[in-house]
Structure 1
Amino acid sequence: MNLKILYILLFFLITICQKNYAQTRDMIPKEFVESMQPKVESEEWYPLNHSKNEFSVKLVKDRLEIEKFKAVDKCELKIQGGTLIGINKGEFGGQLIFQPNDSTKQAIKISKGNISFIFNYKDKIYFITSYAHQVFSTGGLFELERINNDFIFKLLVDFEDAPFAFTIYNDTFLVATFENFYIVKDFKKELIFKNTFWYSLYPNSIAVLNDKNIFIGMRSGIAKVDLTKRTLKFYKNDK
């Protein structure tokens, strides 16, 4: 290859990389500083784990917004005739119930267990369970079906860890668990990152701009995932 052409290609490659980096850096507020991923239970990790600052992420018109996270212990989904209500009390348990619109009718208890998410997807109903306490962590994705006044459910995906943050992007489920990161396509899970630095930093939200810019809110900062390169970065805010 001509040396001049090689230099031109190299120049364009560097320019594209710089542009992509600048785009990402412009999205993230300056108070969030790219940092080394701390080793779990190291001196660098403990202050992050004990911090009272927790951040959630969302996209508004392709702009990343980071806010202080406010924990909730209930999720809801309105369906025909009433509302599905999922309760998550952490180590104290939870449940999934159906509350009829007709106030003269009693609520129907569907399932025990911590319910973190209830959602519609392609005209079907799904829910995600999550439980993490000390060294035990588990959770799963379930399909819920209503037959007359009865509800039945079946397990589709066992995460073998507690899902804490979830979103749907291009028909793919993105799930940040207590210490891992999964993608689920056609209800088949793929483990992308295992034993991550965010163990006990409690991921709480996921915002997706594209495959290169996936942001996860958590205690003490945010993470950025690039699925094209399978890379993970940590942006710390310990103020």
Structure 2
Amino acid sequence: MIFKRIILVLILLPSLTLISCGQTPFSIPGEFIKTSPPKVGSDEWYVLNGSQNEFGVSIVNGKLDIKKVNEVNKSVLKIPSGTLIGVNRGEWGGQLTFKPSDTTKKNIDIKEGNIKFIFKLENKIYFIEGLAHMSYSGGALFELHTTGEKFTFTQLVKFEDAPEAFTIYKDKLLIATHKNFYIVKDFKKELVFKEAFWSSLYPNSIAAFDDKNVFMGIRSGIIKLDLTDKSLIFYKYKE
């Protein structure tokens, strides 16, 4: 079941810092308890879905950092001639827009869609869009082409459900969708986790130390993923 929700772009709030893990890079603090992943739709899963706590993960000074997070509905990327702005309003739509540095010029609407992320990789610009609403879930990765202030785009990878979190890891992208997890290399996707328990628990961030230690923040806790043997461990936050 996909719940009605505005899916927004994550922002970490320093004032809500929960933990900086201390002794080893992968230490899991005591506030999180190793728990069997619940079945989607079970009573245990509904408790997680109803949690008011969402956690983001990142790597700070070489160690895993976990924060409670809030969200905004905008992603931005500055380029020499101005700023690319992606807006995601969930079921109410969104837009990719270019705002010129020259304030005498008008903004340029590039593409309608729920823009989740805008990023540069090897001097090229990419964006990811996605939407999970009612029975629909989907999205795609695009390359953005710029010539002066003219913009076109090419779809490179299509996803069968909505992308929600991503990171650049070595020469590939790690992308968590509404209920799956992909590795994208050379713009070819590999499905690593399918129909996972985090459906409607809204992945928001990914921190990758190596192939065996990939962490993901979700509503109600964090997940440790091992991409080599395709296993996972769920650490539930003690409410």
Q: In 2, Cα distance between the equivalents of 1:174 and 1:229?
A: 16
Equivalent residue pairs, number: 217
Q: In 1, Cα distance between the equivalents of 2:159 and 2:195?
A: 13
Alignment of 1:105-184 (within 5 A): 105-184=105-184
**Unaligned residue ranges in structure 2 (runs of 5+):** 1-22
User: Percent identity, aligned pairs only?
Assistant: 57
Larger Rg: 1
Q: Say which SS state the counterpart of residue 47 (structure 1) adopts.
A: helix
**Unaligned residue ranges in structure 1 (runs of 5+):** 1-21
Q: Say which SS state the counterpart of residue 207 (structure 2) adopts.
A: strand
> Within the alignment, does 1:59 sit opposite 2:59 as a pair?
yes
Q: In 2, Cα distance between the equivalents of 1:213 and 1:55?
A: 17
What letter is aligned with 2:193?
F
Alignment of 1:1-239 (within 5 A): 27-239=27-239
Relative contact order: is structure 1 or structure 2 higher (C-alpha 8 Å, sep ≥ 6)?
2
**Which has the larger helix fraction?**
1
**Which has the larger strand fraction?**
2
Q: In 2, Cα distance between the equivalents of 1:37 and 1:113?
A: 32
Which consecutive segments of 4 or more residues in structure 1 shift more than 4 A? Answer: none
- Once the two structures are TM-superposed, the CA of residue 104 in structure 1 deviates from its matched residue by 0.8
What letter is aligned with 1:64?
L
Q: Say which SS state the counterpart of residue 71 (structure 2) adopts.
A: coil
Normalising by structure 1, we get a TM-score of 0.88
Per-residue displacement from partner, 1:137-182 (whole Å, max 9, x unpaired)? 0110000001232100010000111111000101110000000000
Q: In 2, Cα distance between the equivalents of 1:107 and 1:53?
A: 37
Q: Is the 8 A contact 2:179 2:200 kept in 1?
A: yes
Q: Is the 8 A contact 2:33 2:238 kept in 1?
A: no
What letter is aligned with 1:74?
K
Q: In 1, Cα distance between the equivalents of 2:179 and 2:107?
A: 35
Q: Say which SS state the counterpart of residue 31 (structure 2) adopts.
A: coil
What letter is aligned with 1:109?
D
Alignment RMSD, CA only? Answer: 1.3
Q: In 2, Cα distance between the equivalents of 1:174 and 1:87?
A: 22
- Once the two structures are TM-superposed, the CA of residue 39 in structure 1 deviates from its matched residue by 0.2
- Once the two structures are TM-superposed, the CA of residue 69 in structure 1 deviates from its matched residue by 1.3
